[in-house]
A and B are shown apart, each in its own frame.
Chain A
Amino acid sequence: MSQIPTTKRAPAATDADETAVRKAIASTSRPPRANALSTAITFGWRGMLKVKHVPEQLLDVTITPVMFVLMFTYLFGGAIAGSTGAYLDYILPGILVMSVLFVTVYSGVALNTDLTKGVVDRFRSLPIWRSSPLVGSLLGDSVRYVLAGTVIISVGVIMGYRPGAGVPGAVSALGLVVVFAFGLSWVFTTLGLLLRSPNAVMNAGFMGIFPVTFLSNVFVDPTTLPPILEGFVNVNPVSTLATASRGLMEGNAEAGDIVIVLAVAAALTLVFAPLTTRLYRRG
């Protein structure tokens, strides 16, 4: 009986098949380069996939604000504003601001986590606009900001919150908050590139974001505060943002506030986006 000759490395069904590999190599020609916008969007898509595969990371950042809404409204609402309903009208746009700004810290954490993995080396070695991984992940993060904000507004509505300007009011308030968050997240991506570990970014980030959000008019009317604190709260851009989102929700926003919010977001982007990009390219 004659034996069928076998190769030394007989591949099983699940192994790489050299012939197929050869064919796979031969079958491509190099496509024209992807433009900056398309690569940024692709990185945004990558961010979305991560939310899909690891939805817990979204839970972390939405549960805390939801707890805040519930606790502050029912615990302090009566004492601060006379009734829980009245306080909810005041606090909900503020909590919206707070919860979305909390999520921005995670942009820095995610970037820092990325850097500890080899995949960044591959991105850096691709013929693409070198800032597209950054811009793309922030675009993807913006979707997370929208999700976090929507959760808060929904919780508010369930609790009886009715924005005076209706759905358009809520949408425009959310939009403004997300634009501001996009600007602020560059601060945390810079931090993400400077610090050693994701945990360090998280700690430093919340050390900054906690005072900035609490020392604002998010929870209480600043006129009740000691003068020095009141002075700080009034110049804190987070206060302006909270005031502007209350205004948009109620349909009586002041154009000046909106301009200030957009200007601060633009300024943060102008300073920290180039800084982030430089640090990222430096490797």
Chain B
Amino acid sequence: MTTNSALAIEATGLVKAFGDTTAVDGIDLAVRRGSVYGMLGPNGAGKTTTIRMLATLIRPDAGTALVLGHDIVKASDEVRGAVSLTGQLASVDEDLTGRENLILIGRLLGLKRQAAKTRATELLEAFGLSDAGGKLVKNYSGGMRRRLDIAASIVVTPELMFLDEPTTGLDPRSRNQVWGIIRALVAGGTTILLCTQYLEEADQLADGIAVIDHGRVIAEGTPSQLKASVGSGALRVRLLDPEQRPLAEQVLDREFGDIILEPDPAALSASCSDADRAAKAIAELARSGVRIANFSLSQPSLDEVFLALTGHPAEEVPSDDPVEEEQPT
């Protein structure tokens, strides 16, 4: 039954179409046990559909997949027994309280009443939701909802967890919290398949990344391989005084070349992915008397990854079936 025990997910040629739209068009995946695997792609690329197939919510039209050694079609019940899903639309019941949600899942997974209650308390505490435990989930903030959602997924610790865009729509602080939780899960030995639209997120968390476009894997590798293939990020500087921009341009030009003057009359940027060089350039600017309002060193965006890999920017595919396709929460 188990063909390769080192793999948590082994998918070959998965295909799923909704009407005329082929959402997933022959996806292969090999995810090692204990790793975090990122699926990176724009809205409508087929990430959610792939996850829904692997979590046995929908059947593939073609192809096969083993999840933890179980066939997703023939042994779907065994698959459900070992995985948990945190969907993109928060998979918690808005009309119940946070605590009730966790007790509900605990009871459904076979915990006795008292054990389910104890577990709910423990998880609310661990996820910083103790105070909100008695409130209805519809009154939660996006970040709290996400944390509850993940807590609900680990009421009984799964061997494999599907996380569908866990930080989409969250503020940076909540996003950092969710990342921290994901790291803790991984440290505990859970394998994670993570869907995301953000290269930075995949870079922060994943050991391996597959870039998905139009239902196909168009590139695969480690985050650093991927970034190397994409090229550099950008150092962006915003000045206090727009009058100083020509001076700043001169200084930066000595460091980098290729300076871009942005539409904002006080901003300019240079292509750069090395933090040390960026720091040096900022120091140079300060020494030359350029007053800086702020600066940032950003990684290539998903758009740039796509541009580099496919020659076209990441486009959102309009979906025919709103239930089956990705929607921003």
- Residues in chain A within 8 A of chain B (CB atoms): 9, 11, 13-28, 30-34, 38-39, 42, 45-46, 49-50, 53-54, 115, 117-119, 121-128, 283
Contacts and interface: CB of A to CB of B under 8 A. Distances in A.
Contact of B111 (A22, A31, A123, A283): A31
B319 interface: no
Given A20-B125, A122-B152, A123-B108, 5 more contacts: A9-B177, A11-B180, A22-B188, A25-B184, A122-B87
B89 A30 contact: no
B132 to A, nearest CB: 8
B123 interface: yes
B84 interface: yes
Nearest to A19: B184
Q: Would you list the 4 A-B pairs with minimal beta carbon distance, nearest first?
A: A118-B89, A20-B126, A122-B91, A25-B188
B239 interface: no
Contacts of B147: 16
A24 B108 contact: no
Interface in B147-191: 147, 152, 154-157, 176-177, 180-181, 183-185, 187-188, 190
A19 B81 CA distance: 26
B110 A122 contact: no
B182 to A, nearest CB: 10
Contacts of B136: 53
A17 B57 contact: no
A46 B104 contact: yes
Contacts of B127: 16, 21
B119 A14 contact: no
A105 B118 CA distance: 37
Contacts, number: 143
Contacts of B52: 121
Contacts of B185: 21, 25
A22 B187 contact: yes
A118 B90 contact: yes
B24 to A, nearest CB: 15
Interface stretch (B34-42, B94-102, B216-224, B278-286): B94-102
A33 B81 contact: yes
A50 to B, nearest CB: 5
B177 A15 contact: yes
B187 A30 contact: no
Given A14-B131, A24-B126, A117-B93, A126 B109 contact: yes
A12 to B, nearest CB: 8
Contact of B176 (A9, A39, A283): A9
Contacts of A21: 126-127, 180-181, 184-185
Contacts of B94: 117, 119
B23 interface: no
Contacts of A127: 77, 80-81, 109
Contact of A124 (B57, B92, B105, B177): B57
Contact of A34 (B58, B108, B157, B180): B108
A38 to B, nearest CB: 7
A19 B176 CA distance: 15
Contact of B128 (A16, A22, A38, A118): A16
A14 to B, nearest CB: 5
